[in-house]
Amino acid sequence: MTSQLYILRSTNELPTAWFEQLKRRVSAHRLERIEKAYSYEKAVETLLSELLMRVGIMAWTGLANERIEFGVGPFGKPFAKRIPTCEFSISHTEGLIVGIWHEGPIGIDVEKVRPIDYEAISRHYFAHDELEYIRNTTHPAERLRRFYSLWTMKESAIKSTGQGMSASLPVINNFAGRFAVLIGGTDWRSLKPFSLTPEYQGSICGLGPEDSIACQELTIQDVIERLACDEALSYYEVRNVQQMGVRSRNGIGSYFSQGG
């Protein structure tokens, strides 16, 4: 099975005028979250997250945008109504949004790597073996990267269950460099860490051993143009975004590693 992964960078490049127009294209639930965002940057990330969801569902199912309707699970995770074969997960952090589409339960998390007191956090939230994994290197930068790798694995795992942060953080098992997590006492789910340059660390939970990933990096212009395929956005509006000078990013790197 091939899963679809989209990467959207430079989320801070959306002009204010476009932000106001695109707010009219999202669901009521997402609009409420946008209005409650504590900063303009977070509001933009929240807006673009749903637009990326729509682009991914359109590519996965062939549905037009106007036929996509979202519901919200008991713990706040969005899902596409009447499309049981389309599971997806979205994560955003400063300057970046990632989303993955899959046929079964899936979770993704990404974090911007910042200097923090990871030792104190790890002692509070991590199991003994996880602490040993972080400390089993003498390089401070590598210890920080391992902390973020484990943290995103934990978050991607609970997101794959649909419970989000309402659930306790699970313990990550490391089998000779292959990571997995036990869900509900019976369900082992694999974890795949990835790096988007040293600045970002992420993880995917729920891929099977035979699953592959089709990875595509998009710009804001790409997202808006794809949504325009169903004429939800007018030709005039699309021409405006083409001319607004959004920087294009071409090429896809090799982001994934077997180990963490």
Give 34-79 as a DSSP string.
Answer: HHH-SSHHHHHHHHHHHHHHHHHHHHHH---GGG--EEE-TTS-EE
Q: Classify residue 7: in a domain, yes or no.
A: yes
The answer on pLDDT for 198 being more than 90 is no
Give per-residue pLDDT as tens, 49-58.
Answer: 999 999 999 9
Strand, coil or helix: 243: coil
Residue 130 corresponds to which amino acid? E
The pLDDT > 90 percentage for the chain reads 57
Give per-residue pLDDT as tens, 57-95.
Answer: 999 999 998 899 998 888 888 899 988 888 999 999 999
Q: Classify residue 253: in a domain, yes or no.
A: no
pLDDT score recorded for residue 76: 81
Task: List CB contacts of 31: < 8 A, sequence separation 6 or more.
Answer: 23
pLDDT score recorded for residue 256: 58
Q: How far apart are the C-alpha atoms of 178 and 47, rounded to whole Å?
A: 35
Predicted structure pTM score: 0.86
Q: Classify residue 251: in a domain, yes or no.
A: no
Question: Among 61-75, 121-135, 238-252, which is the least confidently predicted range?
Answer: 238-252
pLDDT score recorded for residue 257: 52
Question: Among 125-139, 146-160, 237-251, which is the least confidently predicted range?
Answer: 237-251
Q: Classify residue 127: in a domain, yes or no.
A: yes
Q: What's the burial of 160, exposed, middle or buried (CB within 10 Å: 0-12/13-18/19+)? A: buried
Domain count, the chain: 1
Q: How far apart are the C-alpha atoms of 123 and 120, rounded to whole Å?
A: 5
The pLDDT > 70 percentage for the chain reads 86
Question: Residue 255's pLDDT band (boundaries 50, 70, 90)?
Answer: low
Q: Classify residue 54: in a domain, yes or no.
A: yes
The answer on pLDDT for 252 being more than 80 is no
Look at residues 109, 190, 81 and name the one whose alpha carbon lies nearest to residue 100: 109
Q: Classify residue 259: in a domain, yes or no.
A: no
- Choose between 224 and 233: higher pLDDT: 224
Q: Classify residue 115: in a domain, yes or no.
A: yes
We report the CATH number of the domain holding residue 236 as: 3.90.470.20
pLDDT score recorded for residue 14: 83
Q: Classify residue 194: in a domain, yes or no.
A: yes
Domain that holds residue 59: 2-242
